[in-house]
Amino acid sequence: REMSSADVKFDDIADIVGGRVNVCIKAKVVRLVKVPGFLSPFETSTIEMVLADEKKPSSGCVSDKEFPASCCSRG
């Protein structure tokens, strides 16, 4: 049986804390910034996003090639 979106429990952005390995969010990307690498400016080293879900207006997330995304809530 395939899972439908009704079967998935989404986490609220406000509930995401550091150290949590797996999260499932449904959010809109409000802003996306690709940061070039220091030694290789033509490659993206970090992606920074501002996300919004139904309950939280915005949250900043940073992801790079070596580590999964980490998020911090913004008031």
Q: Is residue 35 part of a domain?
A: yes
Q: Is residue 4 part of a domain?
A: no
Q: Is residue 1 part of a domain?
A: no
Q: Is residue 68 part of a domain?
A: yes
What would the two tokens of residue 48 be? 């920074």
Q: Is residue 33 part of a domain?
A: yes
Kindly list the strands in the beta sheet with 59-64, ordered across the sheet, starting from the edge strand earlier in the chain. Answer: 28-36, 44-52, 59-64, 70-73
Domain housing 47? 13-73
What does the pLDDT read at residue 75? 41
pLDDT in tens, 42-63: 888 887 877 788 876 655 665 5
Stated as kind and residue range, the H or E segment containing 34 is strand 28-36
In the chain, the number of structural domains is 1
Q: Is 27 a residue whose pLDDT tops 60?
A: yes
Q: Is residue 7 part of a domain?
A: no
Q: Is residue 6 part of a domain?
A: no
What would the two tokens of residue 64 be? 């790079």
What is the maximal distance between C-alpha atoms in the chain? 47
Q: Is residue 29 part of a domain?
A: yes
